Amino acid sequence: MTNKVTVLGSLNVDTTLRIKRMPQPGETLQTENKSSAAGGKGANQAVAAARAGAETSFIGKIGKDSAGQFMVESLKDDHIDTSSIATDETVGTGSAFILLDEEGQNSILVYGGSNQQVQKAEVEAAEDKIKNADFLIAQFETPQAAAIEAFKIAKANGVTTILNPAPAATIDPELLKYSDIVTPNETESATLTGIEVTDEASMVANAEKFAEMGVKNLIITVGSKGAFYSTAAGHDFVPAFTVKAVDTTAAGDTFIGALSSQLKPDLSNIADALVFAQRASSITVQRLGAMPSIPTYDEIIAASK
């Protein structure tokens, strides 16, 4: 059965600057290459879900500009329902500037733009998209107040909610009350719980802390090492696949989108879904760019053989 995934999130035009190494404060470096592509955590996650086989809808906001139209068309290219993307008349479309070094590591500067203007009204207008989904995903590149409203609608209609608390920020406790699964990386998890992630025992301690905050299910992604999960049925660590990383941009977003495409709403297949998501992410890091690097279902399956 095909999962239905709705993503509430950001739409950014990404500009990537390729450099030999990261600059020091006050230093000027030449860039070796410059390219632009569709991105934003929300858009990346939606594309990853769609390419991995999910029926995907998007809730977000663009500016009244060519960048916004470019973002909408980019999502449509992956057969994503864009009818719940609103237009802001006063603020431009979000953008991100990515510094990418020769080791494949990146530093990212983000201009929120219209992403920061997503309001309760946009969420309410997209109520049907939320009600009819199996999963609703939100991140922190759009306001938490909008995510709370969306998650409330989801929970009232039996929809499983996934909160990707990235980039790291202080979480409104009310949002956690409506979050079924929280998916931080190890740094974000430590920021939110105050417990440093160093080993499995510390991951279990993070899960216990999130449970105290109201979230019963936790997935911590640990870069090239793999992912830890904790649910009512138990906890385990799923190792990542060893590959040569070229560009880590969108690796985490690919992971979450791919996961949502395969996960059962009762989480009964979480270990298998995590392996699928790790495989998808391992393909993404071997390619340049955010959205262009996200694999299709067929590519993920082929890599599994």
193 in a known ligand binding site: no
253 in a known ligand binding site: yes
289 in a known ligand binding site: yes
In the three-class reduction of DSSP (H, G, I as helix; E, B as strand; rest coil), residue 274 is classed as helix
Q: Is residue 23 reached through a cis peptide bond, with omega within 30 degrees of 0 on the bond before it?
A: no
222 in a known ligand binding site: yes
68 in a known ligand binding site: no
41 in a known ligand binding site: yes
The one catalytic residue among 78, 88, 134, 253: 253
- Can you say whether the dihedral through the CA atoms of 26, 32, 34, 35 is positive or negative? negative
128 in a known ligand binding site: no
| Helices H / strands E in the chain, number of each | 11, 13
Q: 41 near 10, Cβ under 8 Å?
A: yes
> Any catalytic annotation for residue 180?
no
44 in a known ligand binding site: yes
The long-range contacts involving 167-172, CB below 8 angstroms and separated by at least 24 positions, are 167/110, 167/140, 167/141, 168/140, 168/192, 169/140, 169/144, 171/144, 172/144, 172/145, 172/148
40 in a known ligand binding site: yes
Annotated binding site for ATP: 185, 221-226, 252-253
* Residues noted as catalytic: 253
Annotated binding site for substrate: 12-14, 40-44, 141, 253
Annotated binding site for K(+): 247, 249, 284, 287, 289, 293
Annotated binding site: 12-14, 40-44, 141, 185, 221-226, 247, 249, 252-253, 284, 287, 289, 293
